[in-house]
Amino acid sequence: MAAYDAVIEIPKGSRNKYEVDHETGRVYLDRVLFTGFVYPTDYGFFENTLGLDGDPVDVLVLLDYPLFPGVGVKVRPVGVFNMTDDGGSDAKVIAVPAKDPRWEHIQDVTDVPEHLRKEIEHFFEHYKDLEPGKWVKTEGWGDAAEAEAIVEAGIKKLADEGH
């Protein structure tokens, strides 16, 4: 499985939704989640990709301790949580640090503890519940091959669109 560069926008345990301005590189507070939910994992994006929603491909990075917004990390995709929201298709690739022996045993999303998968699913089913006009439809899990295909498609889409 290949390794890819990811940038963390939101640390695990935060209610703050940060976004990186891709032109300036600055991290901005987009909003504080309207619900009492916190992000169950570090959340960010794959560098040099473009997803179906027009943003870089999203990634949830499984780590023992949260990173800071703007930190880069080399990761290995192990699965994907498929969903659609008010902005369109919005898959969340699940990844682990590429060279960390604590995560070496995680090769596919089925290796991720079941309870953590349930936390991720529950978070994305409900984190927008109190935001007017926003909605989420979850569509289940995909394996490591599907996750890597999403990242590779994002790299190709960015190259094809001349960004």
Domain extent listing, the chain = 4-160
pLDDT score of 163: 64
Residues in the chain, total: 163
SS3 140: strand
What the block records as the tokens of 10 is 């939101």
Residues of the chain with pLDDT under 50: none
> Would you say 54 and 63 are in contact if contact means Cβ atoms under 8 Å apart?
no
> Would you say 136 and 83 are in contact if contact means Cβ atoms under 8 Å apart?
yes
Please provide residue 134's backbone torsions phi and psi, each rounded to the nearest 5 degrees.
-105, 150
Rounded-to-integer distance, Cα 151 and Cα 2, Å: 10
Tally of CB atoms within 10 A around 24: 8
pTM of the model: 0.95
What the block records as the tokens of 36 is 């009492």
90: annotated active-site residue: yes
- The residue annotated as part of the active site, out of 5, 90, 111, 143, is 90
CATH placement of domain 4-160: 3.90.80.10
pLDDT score of 87: 86
| Nearest Cα residue to 52 out of 151, 144, 124, 163 | 151
What the block records as the tokens of 79 is 């699965």
Going 57 to 27 to 2 to 49, the CA torsion angle's sign is positive
How far apart are the two ends of the chain, measured CA to CA in Å? 26
> Would you say 57 and 46 are in contact if contact means Cβ atoms under 8 Å apart?
yes
* 58-61 and 92-97 strand pairing: parallel
